[in-house]
Every structure is written in C-alpha cells, then in structure tokens.
Amino acid sequence: MQSRWIALLALPLLAAPMKVALRGRVEQHDGSGKWQETRVLRRVDPSRTAMVLCDVWDRHWCSGANSRVAVLAPKIQTVVEAARKSGILIVHAPSDTMGFYKEYPQRQAMLRITPVEPTAAKQIDAPPLPIDDSHGGCDSEGDQVYQAWTRQHPAIRIAPQDLISENGAEIYSALKSRGIDTLLVAGVHTNMCILNRSFAIKQMTKWGIQCILLRDLTDAMYSPKDRPYVSHAEGTELVIQHIEKYWCPTALSADLLRALKLAGE
C-alpha cells in the first residue's frame, strides 16, 4: 500500500518562498509491510495555510496527560505566534467548550462564515493503530474519566483575527472561503482526537485538505502497560509513524519556525 500523502509530491509548488521539511513513509512494495522513511522539502504558502489546535484543553482527567499538555501548550503558543505573524490562519478547536466561547468574537466570526458543502469524502482504508488504547490510554494510576476541561489552555493566546470552532464542517467552510488548502495540525491526543475529530486529520484528508502533523507538538493517550508494552514516548512515535504511512506527512515545529523566519527575511 502506497503512503496516502505521497500524492503531495506531485502537486505544483506554490509561489511563496517558504520551504518546510516533511517526513513521511512509503511502502517499498505493495503489501510488503516494509516501510521506508522519506524526507522532502515542500513549499507552503502561508496565505493558503491554516493551523488547527486540537483539544489543547486547560485540564485533562488523566494526570499524566494533564502534566504533558502543561509542558506542550507553551511550545504550541510559540509556534502559533510565529505562524499568525506570517499570515497563517489560527483555528482554536477545544472540543466540548463552545459554551465558554459563545460570546467571543472569534467564535461569532466563525458562525458568520457561509457554509461550503464539502466535496465527496475519499475512501481511505488504514489498518488498526499499532498501540492498544482500549482502556483509555492513561498512564497514571487511579484517575477516573470525567470532563475536566472547560476551555483551551490559557498559555495559548487567542488573537482577534483567529477563529474558534469544534465543528469540522465549519472549519472546512472557513478554509475553503479563504482559499486554504493546507492544514497544520497540533494538539492532543495523537491516537484519538488528532485522528478522529471532524476537524482533524482523517476527515480533512478525506475532504481533500492537505494535512501536516506537527509531530513534536502532540502527545498520545497510551500506557506502557498496554500493547505493545513500550514507553509512552515510543507509543506516541508509533502512532506518528502510522499517520505518516496512511494519512499525512509530519514536520517538526523547529523546521516550521525556521521556514517562517526565512520566508520573512
């Protein structure tokens, strides 16, 4: 099976002088199960790019996940500021918190966008994830599932020109209305919301949006007590590699920041 993102390489290069290093994986022969890491430089036009922040909540029910997001959020904030300054649209997508944001102008601006009917979704088949998260994936003891979050993590600034939504159709309409065809994805959790939210990698890829996961700005819900019995960091990396094989390429935030800096000089 060929990597689903390899078609990106055949697309015409965009005019903006911003080149981002992407990592993906290509199966050496169909059905062989042997994958080769591939790295390319891809031109990305900031005016045709958005960045969605998936479920970077203020608090999580799993204390291990909560601690890691507390470290992750300031790093995401650094990238958000640079991306926004370069003209990239920032979409804040903290699911289940739209009540908190209902009066925010960034939420109201999203609701005023004329809906755009999505294209017919592509059929994309992928095997199960390489990790077992059937028990919730929490790696800390004694935590009980409940909705701990009320808003996005306060470390991430919401600027006047940003948008807020948890709805894939709304976000798709915002992208299409602005001629955006590339979506940078950051946030949590890699094996759950990052893949499965209506505004995230699977659905947006099926709708024809070119997704790029920022692989150091994400974290998985995975416990080393579950299959394949590796460390939490290794479990997250396995999910990232799965995404690179079947869904989209990834990039490092440092490479994106470097590209944004060079483009602005």
Q: How far apart are CA 181 and CA 122, in angstroms?
A: 16
Q: What is the pLDDT of residue 6?
A: 46
Instruction: Report angle CA 207, 149, 52 to the nearest 5 degrees.
Output: 30
- Residue linked to tokens 């022969």: 29
Q: How far apart are CA 150 and CA 96, in angstroms?
A: 8
Q: How far apart are CA 154 and CA 34, in angstroms?
A: 42
Give the closest residue to 100 by CA, choosing from 136, 62, 156, 58: 58
pTM above 0.75, yes or no: yes
Q: What is the pLDDT of residue 263?
A: 82
Give the closest residue to 94 by CA, choosing from 17, 31, 150, 174: 150
Question: Which residue segments constitute the domains of the chain, with CATH numbers given?
Answer: 45-117+138-264 (3.40.50.850)
Q: What is the pLDDT of residue 262?
A: 87
Q: What is the pLDDT of residue 2?
A: 46
Q: What is the pLDDT of residue 211?
A: 98
Q: What is the pLDDT of residue 190?
A: 98
From residue 168, alpha-carbon distances to 55, 118, 164, 165 in Å are 13, 10, 11, 8
- Residue linked to tokens 């109201």: 108
Intervals of the chain under pLDDT 70: 1-17
Residue 2, C-beta contacts closer than 8 angstroms, at least 6 positions apart: 26, 27, 30
Q: What is the pLDDT of residue 1?
A: 44
Neighbours of 204 (CB within 10 A): 25
Q: What is the pLDDT of residue 17?
A: 57
